[in-house]
Structure 1
Amino acid sequence: MFLLVAAVLLVTACRQESPATALPPSSGAATTPVAGPPGLATSPTPTPTATSLPQNATPKDQVTPTPGSQTSASKPGRIVLELATGTEARYRVKEQLARLNLPTDAVGATNRVEGKITLNANNAIVAAGSRLVVDLRTLQSDESRRDSYIRQTTIMAFLYPLAEFVPSKVMGLQSPLPTSGTATFQVVGDMTIHGVTKPLTWEVSASFGEQEINGQATTSFRFQDFNMTIPRVFSVLSVEDSIRLEIDFRFHRTDASL
């Protein structure tokens, strides 16, 4: 009896100490992982990309330029002064005639004067657009014999028919060019007579309007400055070695944008 009770206790103790044994896997079954929904396991997380606008689309905040908006601040323009009808050029030379007791002025004039002067907004002369020309062949005085002598001998108009002045600078005139009132100032440039070019300064007095400028310009030089000889004829006792040039001008004014 004692032996039977001991055997029962021994068996019970062994069952309590032995761990549970897992069932061996079936020999024909392969271990297969449980698959999730299609595409979740292998698809990478998409990277955000910038979406470009269609070529014909305009963003809401983009400003579309208005035609002409880039030139809203207009540039200063040029002013073109063109000689108009009524302009006359003259020379004056003091002479002593044999038949007179006192010296007098020999005066020859022509209205064959052409050209223009171009100024920028600061009254600076634009050389490429500025030139004045006088046709010396048309000079006339009160004495035809004098005219013939001067054309043929003094200025040699058959070789040098034109006198040309190319202005380069205006001095003493306010800027911008006035459209009213009067002013005196100087114009400097190169004068060409008898095939010789020399710098010359003109004294100018002018009255200004919206579309016209009227006035007179004068200058003086000696015969020898332009390689000319003083006239010598039997009816003239003496001729002063000074030639005064005068231009009574009428300029038509045009304002042009750059």
Structure 2
Amino acid sequence: MGLRTRTKVIIGISTGVVVIAAAAVIAGPSIYANTVNGQAAAAPSLQATSSASLDAADADGTWTSQSGSYAGYRVHEVLQGNDVNVVGRTKDVEGTAEVDGGCLAKATVTVQVAKISTPESARDAYFRDTALETDRFPTATFTLTKPVDVSKALDGSKQDVALTGTMDLHGVTKAVTADAQVAVGEGGTVQVAGSVPITFADYGVKAPSLGFVTVDGKGSVEFSLDLQK
């Protein structure tokens, strides 16, 4: 690591430490933790109260993500003994899915990692500049590698599925499995919502331990895709 890179890392960490520490001191760790937890978005879930159905012939073809789609991450921190759940989100996500005969045959989801944000700008700067180096690795991509039957969802049920694929993150590609739900909505749309558990070290990302705050070495990538043909 060169001097410039080391300096960048130190500055990034120091900035995050100063801002978060100041907030924790002013508000108190417990109050600060409660505030962050209150800001954390809920895990992605199917929005439709009831599922519609879709003829197999109408389902076949290529589906693309719409403006309501989003993705991001969820991590757990311990701030001076207080549990903190941090959630980042972005709508800058592109997903495509190919359905053939009631089977999800192909799918990719690409997220612009630098666009993921939380209510804390210092944390976001550390996430972008130091943890994931988004200037070098601007996207994260999930690619389905094993077809999965989604016929129950097409018939009008909310279907639990395991999506086997690869996650390309921080320049590293690993085999992963996403736990997800699929349902057909009104108007022939399809929603897929779920998460992929990840271990940061597997992708060459070191979870920071800053003395007063420690980030778990594991987290999850979350997504909710509104798909339309």
Tell me, yes or no, whether TM beats 0.5. yes
Report the count of equivalent residues: 172
**Which runs of structure 2 are paired with 1:44-123 in the superposition (5 Å)?**
78-98=60-80, 101-123=81-103
Q: Kindly name which structure, 1 or 2, has the bigger radius of gyration based on alpha carbons.
A: 1
**Which runs of structure 2 are paired with 1:93-172 in the superposition (5 Å)?**
93-98=75-80, 101-126=81-106, 130-171=107-148
Determine which structure has the larger helix proportion and give its number. Answer: 2
Counterparts in 2 of 1:216 and 1:76: CA distance versus 1, 3 Å: closer
Counterparts in 2 of 1:177 and 1:205: CA distance versus 1, 3 Å: closer
CA contact (8 A) 1:215 1:250 kept: yes
TM-score (norm 2): 0.68
Task: Report sequence identity in percent.
Answer: 23
Number of the residue aligned with 1:238: 214
**Secondary structure of the corresponding residue to residue 206 of structure 2:** coil
Number of the residue aligned with 1:225: 202
Gapped runs of 5+ residues in structure 1? Answer: 1-74
Determine which structure has the larger strand proportion and give its number. Answer: 2
State how far apart, in whole Å, the 2-side matches of 1:77 and 1:145 are.
Answer: 44
CA contact (8 A) 1:125 1:169 kept: yes
Counterpart selection for 2:189 from 205, 212, 221? 212
State how far apart, in whole Å, the 1-side matches of 2:77 and 2:58 are.
Answer: 50
Report the residue type matching 1:119 in the other structure: V
Report the residue type matching 1:180 in the other structure: G
Select the structure with the greater relative contact order (CA < 8 A; seq sep ≥ 6): 2
**Secondary structure of the corresponding residue to residue 103 of structure 1:** strand
Counterparts in 2 of 1:123 and 1:177: CA distance versus 1, 3 Å: farther
Structure 2 residue 165 is the aligned partner of structure 1 residue 189 = yes
**Secondary structure of the corresponding residue to residue 152 of structure 1:** helix
State how far apart, in whole Å, the 2-side matches of 1:118 and 1:197 are.
Answer: 22
Counterpart selection for 1:249 from 211, 220, 225? 225
Gapped runs of 5+ residues in structure 2? Answer: 1-56
TM-score (norm 1): 0.61
Query: Once the 2 structures are TM-superposed, how far is the Cα of residue 122 of structure 1 from its aligned partner?
Result: 4.7
More displaced 10-residue stretch of structure 1: 115-124 or 242-251: 115-124
Aligned alpha-carbon RMSD (Å): 2.2
Report the residue type matching 1:207 in the other structure: A
**Secondary structure of the corresponding residue to residue 136 of structure 2:** coil
